[in-house]
């Protein structure tokens, strides 16, 4: 699974709209300015998000975009699937299950791919825009413990930064 530049822009734009969730329609230009995104490109992205019913638009003067659902009900998996496709590292979950059933010589390889996709799905299906906001509007200095009520399902608070993964990249 790869998140493209476009996918990142989409996530940033949605986080911005989530921050301003109470404030009615936000102009493309404001989103682009606040998140430093190319305006014309952002336009296409928001259109796509609109067609997917994640945001809605108000046309004409005083128009703009807003989320169609509360930030706590918009999950990263949904956005990433929309913009960048399946979460699986190869093909998609269905085709992998097909291959696991049919291609006996490479079954175990495809099973590993499916495991990887399931691990990604578990994280991305349980992280919402709201989860991201609650973590990140504390700007800069890393307070080690915040007494934030731990939301059910969010996996974010468990992150320990200095984890030192085995290899790199």
Partner DNA sequence: ATAAAGTCTATTGACTAAGTAGACTTTAAG
Partner DNA sequence: CTTAAAGTCTACTTAGTCAATAGACTTTAT
1 binds, among DNA, a copy of itself, none (CB under 5 to 8 A by kind): a copy of itself
Cβ at position 117, least distance to a copy of itself in Å = 8
Cβ at position 11, least distance to a copy of itself in Å = 6
* Contact between residue 102 and residue 96 where contact means Cβ atoms under 8 Å apart: no
CA dihedral sign of residues 88, 128, 55, 13: negative
- What's the CA gap between 7 and 109, in Å, rounded? 28
Q: Which residues bind DNA (CB under 7 A)?
A: 4-6, 9, 25-29, 38-41, 43-44, 46-47, 50, 57-65, 84
Question: Considering beta carbons, is residue 1 or 47 the nearer one to a copy of itself?
Answer: 1
- What's the CA gap between 96 and 100, in Å, rounded? 6
Strand partners, 55: 67
Strand partners, 154: none
58 binds, among a copy of itself, DNA, none (CB under 5 to 8 A by kind): DNA
CB crowding 7-16: b at 16 or more within 10 Å, else e = bebbbbbbbb
Question: Considering beta carbons, is residue 41 or 118 the nearer one to DNA?
Answer: 41
Q: Which residues bind a copy of itself (CB under 8 A)?
A: 1-3, 7-8, 11-12, 15, 76-77, 80-81, 85-90, 92-94, 97, 100, 104-109, 111-125, 127, 131-136, 138-140, 155-156, 159, 161, 163, 165-169
């Amino acid at each position: 699974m790869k998140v493209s530049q476009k996918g990142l822009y989409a996530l940033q734009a949605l986080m911005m709209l989530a921050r301003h969730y109470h404030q009615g329609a936000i102009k493309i230009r404001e989103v682009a300015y606040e998140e430093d995104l190319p305006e014309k490109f952002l336009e296409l992205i928001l259109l796509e998000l609109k067609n997917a019913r994640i945001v809605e638009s108000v046309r004409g003067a005083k128009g703009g975009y807003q989320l169609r659902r509360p930030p706590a009900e918009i999950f990263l998996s949904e956005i990433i699937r929309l913009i960048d496709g399946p979460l699986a590292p190869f093909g998609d979950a269905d085709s992998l299950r097909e291959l696991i059933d049919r291609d006996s010589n490479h079954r175990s390889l495809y099973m590993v791919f499916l495991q990887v996709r399931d691990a990604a799905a578990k994280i991305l299906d349980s992280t919402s825009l709201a989860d991201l906001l609650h973590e990140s509007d504390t700007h800069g200095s890393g307070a080690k413990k915040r007494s934030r009520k731990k939301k059910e399902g969010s996996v974010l608070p468990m992150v320990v930064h200095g984890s030192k993964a085995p290899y790199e990249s």
